[in-house]
Amino acid sequence: MIKNKSIYILGIESSCDDTSASVICNGKILSNVVATQEIHAKYGGVVPELASRAHQQNIVPVIQQAIQQANIDKKDLNAIAFTRGPGLMGSLLVGTSFAKSLSLALDIPLIAVNHMQGHVLAHFIEDESMQKPPFPFLCLTISGGHTQIVKITNYFTMEVLGETLDDAVGEAYDKSAKILGLPYPGGPLVDKYAKLGNAKAFKFTKPKVDGLNFSFSGLKTGILYFIQKKVKENPNFIEENLNDICASIQYTIVKILFDKLKKAVEETEINHIAIAGGVSANSEIRKVLKSYEASLGWTTYIPKFEFTTDNAGMIAIVGYLKYLENNFSNTSTTATARLKVNDN
Ligand code: KG4
Ligand code: ZN
């Protein structure tokens, strides 16, 4: 039956500032096109109104390109999966409305996908370079909007063990970068300069948060006051110490993340550990995680770079897994700005 058949799913992602479309066949990526909206860089962060407009401009060419690159005809598609939430309402509405119209036009089923589940389940994309984690496993989901430790018992059974009480870790990176005068999104730049610096050059206070929760807003304020003080003493302080500042910020952020992750492993006794989300592209996080295989006996699962930041491949794989379970939605499904990881 289904097993011998080729199932083609089109995934559509438009929750924030990336317009993306992907075609997968039986869980294997045939195309994964991402149009990143450059317009936000000059505003130092995502401007929701501009994001919706850019999605409107990008969505048709991005989907056309995804179908073309997959070398299929749109009539070959079996279903359309789209991001229902969480995200920016105006952005979500563009993808949601387009997905509904296309499913009606092609007369194929519609599948609503939770973006957070997409980040986690990207690990199940069929790809030779990736190993699939066995259940149960823990996932550290770290992005511009989220910081969570999630226990995954089954594809669609997820429990948040801890999460940020204020800023997400990606925001901590981006806001720190902004303080240093770096363009948005600053996370990758902090990562780049940190590689050249001394992580012990400056010390930043780590937050004291109970349990497995996180907090990053205090760190951001601490960095701001530190930089203001130093720049007053020496106006060239940032330029002269950029690598060391970035390395020290990165060291602090990584320590905060791994202290909690180690605690989660101790408490759950689960040592299959995955990372997901845009910040999981970070080189130091990948390095430290990998080192715990030898030192702590963890088995780690690091997604391919292109599946970490927002992309429609991760939406398409959730679509495929739901397709196999006949878990379809319909045109009355609405975009939802706030969704928990366990909301299906
Ligand atoms: O998952 P994502 O693409 O979008 C959200 O759902 O938020 O994550 C974007 C975030 C941004 O904050 C960006 O600065 C951060 O991921 N990021 C990084 C790196 N690459 C992307 N942060 C630190 N190091 C990186 N190499
Ligand atoms: Zn995301």
Is the pLDDT reported for residue 281 higher than 70?
yes
Is 338 contained in some domain?
Answer: no
Best residue among 309, 338, 339 to mutate for probing ligand 1's pocket (most ligand atoms within 8 Å of CB) is 309
pLDDT in tens, 236-277: 999 999 999 999 999 999 999 999 999 999 999 999 999 999
pLDDT at 343: 87
Please report whether residue 1 resides in a domain.
Answer: no
Q: Which of 143, 306, 310, 311 to mutate to test the pocket of ligand 1 (most atoms within 8 A of CB)?
A: 143
Q: Check whether residue 193 and residue 283 sit in a common domain.
A: yes
Q: Are residues 78 and 119 in the same domain?
A: yes
Q: Is the peptide bond before 48 cis (omega within 30 degrees of 0)?
A: no
Neighbours of 145 (CB within 10 A): 21
Helix axes 237-268, 169-179, angle to 10 degrees: 170
| Of 181, 152, 17, nearest in space to 87 by CA | 17
* Arithmetic mean of pLDDT over the chain: 95
In the predicted model, is pLDDT for residue 1 greater than 60? no
The number of the ligand 1 atom at minimal distance from the alpha carbon of 281 is 26
Strand order in the sheet with 157-163: 157-163, 147-154, 137-142, 272-276, 299-301
The verdict on 189 and 285 lying in the same domain is yes
**Domain of residue 143, CATH code:** 3.30.420.40
Do 92 and 191 fall into the same domain?
A: no
pLDDT at residue number 4: 65
**130: in domain:** no
Q: Which residues lie with the beta carbon below 6 Å from any ligand 1 atom?
A: 16, 143-145, 170, 173-174, 185, 187-188, 191, 277-279, 281-282, 309-310
pLDDT of amino acid 39 = 80
Cis peptide bond N-terminal to 303, omega within 30: no
> 170 with 240, same domain?
yes
Cβ burial 220-237 (10 Å sphere, 16+ → b, else e): bebbeebbeebeeeeeeb
Q: Quick check: is 288 in a domain?
A: yes
Range of the domain at 186: 137-302
* Residue 132 is assigned to a structural domain of this protein: no
Three-state SS string across 12-81, please? EECCCCEEEEEEEECCEEEEEEEEECHHHHHHCCCCHHHHHHHHHHHHHHHHHHHHHHCCCCHHHCCEEE
341 is a domain residue: no
Considering the domain architecture, whether residues 159 and 80 belong to the same structural domain is answered as no
Judge whether 208 lies within some domain: yes
Of all atoms in ligand 1, which is nearest to the CA of residue 171? 12
> Is residue 3 domain-resident?
no
Section 137-161 average pLDDT: 96
Dump the DSSP string for 333-344. ----S---TT--
Residues 97, 119, single domain; the answer is: yes
**Does 161 lie in the same domain as 88?**
no
Same domain, residue pair 150 and 116 = no
Same domain (yes/no): 298, 312: no
Q: Give the global pTM.
A: 0.94
pLDDT digits (tens, 9 = 90+) for 199-221: 999 999 999 999 999 999 999 99
The residue among 139 and 36 whose pLDDT is bigger is: 139
Instruction: Give the helix/strand (H/E) hosting 224.
Output: helix 217-233
Q: Could you tell me if 197 and 148 lie in one domain?
A: yes
Q: How far is the CA of 16 from the centre of ligand 2 (A)?
A: 8
- Which atom from ligand 1 is nearest to the alpha carbon of 285? 24
Number of separate domains in the chain: 2
Contacts of 4 (CB under 8 A, 6+ apart): none
Helix %, strand %, coil % for the chain, to 5?
Answer: 45, 20, 35
Per-residue confidence (pLDDT) for residue 250, from 0 to 100: 98
Are the beta carbons of 223 and 252 closer than 8 angstroms?
no
Q: Are residues 121 and 178 in the same domain?
A: no
